Amino acid sequence: MKLEKYVDSLPILPVLQPTSMCDDKLYYEITMRECRQQLHRDLPPTTIWGYNGLYPGPTIKAHSNIPILVCWKNELPTTHLLPVDTTVHGAFSDVPQVRTVVHLHGAVTYDSSDGYPDAWFTNDFQTVGPAFETKVYQYPNTQPATNLWYHDHAIGITRLNIYAGLAGFYEIHDQLEQSLPLPKEPYDIPLLVQDRSFNEDGSLYYPAQPEKPVEGVNPSVVAEFFGDTNLVNGKVWPYMEVEPKRYRFRILNGSNGRTYCLSLSGAIPFVQIGTDQGLLEKPVITKELVIAPAERVDVVIDFTSLAGHSLELINTAPAPFPNGDPPCEATTGRVMKWIVNQPLHRKDCSYIPPCLTRIPVYQESFASRERLLTLDMVKDRFDRELHLLDNKTWSEPISELPELGTFEIWSFINTTGDMHPIHLHLVRFQVLDRQPYNTDYFKETGIIQVSGSKRSPDLNEQGFKDTVRANPDEITRVIFWTGPYTGRYVWHCHILEHEDYEMMRPYIVIQ
């Protein structure tokens, strides 16, 4: 379906207000509902699943070290909006078709509030699994200022629930960030970038079969999904009218599988000030932003000298990344547009200081253990791609049990042809390095034979992160401090089709 670009204004996402106080904590309520929402001027209203009936959901703004409570309610229908494959783990025919559980991505939380994939609930709050405690989650917010996001995490159907619309922003603010002379509201704007495809009637298109149909399985999980249109904040190719001044944009890639390599027309640079887990130590000037699914970048764009001009946000990343097909220049190669046509309402006193924060450096010598963990792809009994972590499925015995209060290095040995964005729950980490190795030799012998020197993380990755791009034919190493809570968490690839089909594993933080 051919849709005209830049005919709809960028939605500014609403901020959720607490409904009451409970146990001296601000108390919020969010209800998952099926609604209809117009995602493009020329599309009929699309049926979506939204938090409080909105796609994306309302933004929660919290403050560092001030805990809040969120009550998550499920009022979704009992039949799924999208095709459910009952051969996928956790989605077998003996469980309700529609299940939800919310994960606050990047948050430091108790395991009971982390959104464990098996801790799902239905629209009558039927529960299953020993990890489920309550639908009221407590978020301690014991983190510096950062950009998190909440999304569904129900085992076996995460890809479908998020694609249907279940995602929203969660910002944590602190005194340091607020004291910096960065652009403030209304010039501080979150941008959720996702790809989607549509049927002629405006409904969401999601494939029921891979390109090569699977005999005996219908619907069948696909290896990866890439839509043919880009949306920002729930609008297809929107535009935004701006003043000639600096703006701050908190960009999140919320796509199922698409990685973006973003640039601005006219070779205008971004100034990146933050990554997944908060501010960088120093701003980084860059003309390209590579953002894998679930990664976040915090940038400033300076429109000061661009009055009367416009800028396009362009994507050049192949799909799959990094060795797939280039994007179509007219469709998935375009994301949104800024038009600098608004009068300057007040003098722009913002600027970007040379030092944003202080980040302690995690030394390799801190680590009490290094784990070598493979990223694998095999074929299942239907000859479909089956992605695994360390050659294990979700239900196999738990093998990663880091001790509370210790440092560990996890080395991700990518044996596949795709980049995998690996996300660890609970902890924030630093990227140590990446190193090429001989993949074929490793597959044959199990011996690592490096084929090049270690490469430091990119300048704009040298802060705290919770999702890292593990490239093919490379070993990617991260280091983290384990804590501050014990309990059962998960780590997984954030390509949602991979996560749903076995590329997710539990781990337990032990005392």
Same fold, 188-340 and 364-509: yes
Spatial CA neighbour of 297 closest among 314, 317, 273: 273
pTM of the predicted structure, to 2 decimals: 0.96
Does residue 52 have a pLDDT over 60?
yes
What DSSP line would sit under 322-387, residue for residue?
A: TTSBPPPTTTTTEEEEEEE-S---S-------S---------GGGEEEEEEEEEEEEE-TTS-EEE
Does residue 129 have a pLDDT over 60?
no
* Per-residue model confidence (pLDDT) at position 484: 98
Least confident range from 125-129, 211-215, 233-237, 338-342: namely 125-129
Show the tokens assigned to 438: 């001989």
Which residue type occupies 359? I
Contact 290, 299 (CB under 8 A): no
Superfamily name with CATH number, domain 188-340: Cupredoxins -  blue copper proteins (2.60.40.420)
Q: Where are the domains of the chain?
A: 20-176, 188-340, 364-509
Q: Which residues are CB-contacts of 65 (< 8 A; sequence separation ≥ 6)?
A: 140, 141, 142, 174
Does residue 509 have a pLDDT over 80?
yes
Distance CA 50, CA 167 (A): 8
E strands of 229-295, at which residues? Answer: 229-232, 235-236, 239-242, 246-253, 260-264, 270-275, 278-286, 289-291
Q: For the residues 3-23, what does the mean pLDDT come to? A: 95
* Per-residue model confidence (pLDDT) at position 123: 84
Backbone angles phi, psi at 142, to 5 degrees: -85, 60
Distance CA 170, CA 145 (A): 11
* Per-residue model confidence (pLDDT) at position 23: 82
Spatial CA neighbour of 48 closest among 61, 60, 33, 59: 33
Which of the following CATH numbers is that of domain 20-176: 3.30.230.80, 1.10.4010.10, 2.60.40.420, 3.30.70.360?
A: 2.60.40.420
The DSSP secondary-structure symbol of 160 reads H
Average pLDDT in the chain:
96
List pLDDT tens digits, range 194-220. 999 999 999 999 999 998 899 989 999
Distance CA 356, CA 176 (A): 9
Q: For the residues 351-374, what does the mean pLDDT come to? A: 97
Does residue 224 have a pLDDT over 60?
yes
List pLDDT tens digits, range 462-487. 999 999 999 999 999 999 999 999 99
Burial class (CB in 10 A: 0-12, 13-18, 19+), 500: buried
Does residue 311 have a pLDDT over 50?
yes
Spatial CA neighbour of 473 closest among 459, 452, 492: 452
* Per-residue model confidence (pLDDT) at position 135: 84
Q: What is the CATH number of domain 364-509?
A: 2.60.40.420
* Per-residue model confidence (pLDDT) at position 137: 96
Does residue 492 have a pLDDT over 80?
yes
* Per-residue model confidence (pLDDT) at position 150: 98
Does residue 125 have a pLDDT over 60?
no
* Per-residue model confidence (pLDDT) at position 444: 96
Contact 37, 45 (CB under 8 A): yes
Distance CA 162, CA 156 (A): 12
Does residue 130 have a pLDDT over 50?
no
